[in-house]
Structure 1
């Protein structure tokens, strides 16, 4: 039998009338439990937000994106594209032309981002799952269509597939001087609005998808492309393909995976999560100070018991262990309760979505929550360290008590 653990449990689960030491211990246990619960819930919310960002941008962004280091476009030809397609692991290559243009619809106009994509674009990503109105196809029955963001639709009051009001795009002609009629300095092309997508406001308020040849004619890019989007054979092979493409294309091109395309945003979420973890760890430390006070008072209250144990042959290490285990019992009881309650709250939110985002235009109705094992492990590790820090001094004081003075 572990004598130190047995005595520590007897001190904690005493059947005697509750005194101030027991009350302080209970307060410390509740404080640790509440802090642990809050930490698990907040970390899970940050995980959910990070996962939501990845899923939203995953509908729009490719697995691997190739752009030019200098300038917004680069020359391409059949041989250049074939080199990329023959890279091991590349299963799909989509050509992209993207630039700003003026969009007119009836008596309204706005500047939008025109993104011309080749016919295999929908095999590249999941944007077709974000269609909220009309059809996703950019070519149907020999006719070209545009896919517009919901924000663009709202601002211009666009009715998809309205044959009487096509979208009118205008783009400046290269080297064209302004004349008495400014419209002569612009290329103008019309196209029918065929569908509406809703991904995220950043995209919904400015993007319009069109066929690649339409964008090529409107923007005058000819054989130039602003980016190439690559799909890998398996998700686990993305980084390997990215490195192979970077080596093959050289320093004049930038090859990025999906996370690197939004590295600033994802890094900001991770930094915020780290600061939250540190902040709540300090909250747990403050809550655990009650453990220090309760152990210190317990040492004073049990001086005679300590002296008797020492006289019976208990060494200082055993006495220290008693009070370290007493602090551990208080902290871990609260921590386990906090972990269970926090995990339950996250599961309920994840399953039933009780707490809503409070915004009618939100892409998700409820706060996203995602529990990760590492959060529970790091929280448990933080509690272990904190418990040792606040329990060491009272335990040492107990082991150094004089037998003669306390018997």
Structure 2
């Protein structure tokens, strides 16, 4: 197969054993450094993609994309929901009522945000069914005063399915005997695990009518509507438009006010970490400069002979550009293969390591999930490999230009 002269010599220089073993060692370390930089960048970007994905699917699948709340309890929520669903951006609507308070059991106390729901409607806007460890959402029937809590809250309270606990509301009831806190006994009907400490520890679910009775409302009255949008980034503007259309007695709140800072922090961290890791790849790529400079010094005699045989400065320059580019291509290819394999298995590897040493690297009290996610994306792999190849190519220009300027007479004077 025909190959241009500069390609033939450049690839032969890459394969050949050099007299100067130190140059060979530097060339090998440049290749390994570039491969390691590519591996680290692919793995870290995949982990950041995993955090981004889990934030969207798990956390934002449990919390409302947006809510519409009235100044007064809403009696006919079905007709209000029909008006809201006229907006084409809204996929589903479900009623809700919330009350903050404390859960107590056998001397243990845990704060809770009690979220009253209609189990049938809740499935349209929430993915809670996917995370049930025990019990079912349908067990929250009117009048049962059942409650579903996260596994973290259940562990803190020391309760399981079927146990009784007491909800203490932040209000008091005035009686002839004095003022007493409002309390109600609930039965644990289910336990869920989302993996987010904020949700698993402080969220409780109960039936709409049961919480309405606690607040002395009519059974069909609710606090507001929970909205699910086809695109969660449409929620802020879409919810505001809906509230404006409904009138001054309604106001909207969206997920960017509750979890927006966390989501933006993840996106910004991905960009900043990607930039920092790209600098690591750049350092590894520019090690090719030192490699080629030493190769050029080692091959001055060969360059002079090629020049006397008729090779042009452009050919000489192309020879060393090919040699440096081959180092970059091989290093990038090795890094891409290892990085892809590592990104696909990093979650299971970290999980196995946690089980081996008995220590959790991600604490749900600090992070919004308690495991290390990873999501490999083709565009990230292509971006990393493309950047590494471009930097490797740029690193060859100066040494190749130096080689092209070699004067045959001067190079052969002491040969």
TM-score, with structure 1 as normaliser: 0.82
The 8 Å contact of residues 138 and 211 in structure 1, kept in 2 or not, is answered as: no
- Residue 286 of structure 1 corresponds to 283
Q: What whole-Å deviation, never above 9, does each CA across 1:347-375 have from its counterpart, x for those lacking one? A: 34467776444439979997432211122
Q: What whole-Å deviation, never above 9, does each CA across 1:107-153 have from its counterpart, x for those lacking one? A: 44443211112342133222122222333334348533111222322
Structure 1 segment 104-143 matched on structure 2, within 5 A: 104-119=104-119, 120-140=121-141, 143=144
- 1:188 equivalent in alignment to 2:190: no
- Residue 387 of structure 2 corresponds to 382
The 8 Å contact of residues 46 and 374 in structure 2, kept in 1 or not, is answered as: yes
- Separation of aligned partners in 1, 2:252 and 2:314: 61
State which drifts further: 267-276 or 223-232.
223-232
- Separation of aligned partners in 2, 1:16 and 1:106: 78
- Residue 148 of structure 1 corresponds to 149
Q: What whole-Å deviation, never above 9, does each CA across 1:150-180 have from its counterpart, x for those lacking one? A: 2322222234324xx453433415xx88997
The 8 Å contact of residues 66 and 239 in structure 2, kept in 1 or not, is answered as: no
- Separation of aligned partners in 2, 1:403 and 1:254: 79
- Residue 57 of structure 2 corresponds to 55
| Secondary structure, aligned partner of 2:112 | strand
- Residue 334 of structure 1 corresponds to 331
- Residue 197 of structure 1 corresponds to 192
- Separation of aligned partners in 1, 2:238 and 2:135: 39
- Separation of aligned partners in 2, 1:148 and 1:203: 9
Distance 1:402 1:109, change over 3 A: closer
1:311 CA drift (Å): 3.9
Q: What do you get for the CA RMSD once the two structures are aligned?
A: 3.5
- Residue 169 of structure 2 corresponds to 170
Paired residues in the alignment total 393
Distance 1:324 1:354, change over 3 A: farther
The 8 Å contact of residues 317 and 400 in structure 2, kept in 1 or not, is answered as: yes
- Separation of aligned partners in 1, 2:383 and 2:362: 35
Within the candidate set 230, 236, 240, 1:246 is matched to: 240
| Secondary structure, aligned partner of 2:96 | strand
The 8 Å contact of residues 101 and 167 in structure 2, kept in 1 or not, is answered as: no
TM-score, with structure 2 as normaliser: 0.81
Distance 1:112 1:18, change over 3 A: same
The 8 Å contact of residues 291 and 327 in structure 1, kept in 2 or not, is answered as: yes
- Residue 211 of structure 2 corresponds to 215
The 8 Å contact of residues 356 and 366 in structure 1, kept in 2 or not, is answered as: no
- Separation of aligned partners in 1, 2:404 and 2:132: 71
1:214 CA drift (Å): 2.2
Q: What whole-Å deviation, never above 9, does each CA across 1:51-99 have from its counterpart, x for those lacking one? A: 333333144124x31246xxx9666453533311333364531112223
- Residue 373 of structure 2 corresponds to 368
Within the candidate set 313, 320, 324, 1:323 is matched to: 320
1:269 CA drift (Å): 2.2
**Structure 2 residues not aligned, in runs of 5+:** none
The 8 Å contact of residues 355 and 367 in structure 1, kept in 2 or not, is answered as: no
| Secondary structure, aligned partner of 2:259 | helix
The 8 Å contact of residues 60 and 125 in structure 1, kept in 2 or not, is answered as: yes
The 8 Å contact of residues 142 and 210 in structure 2, kept in 1 or not, is answered as: no
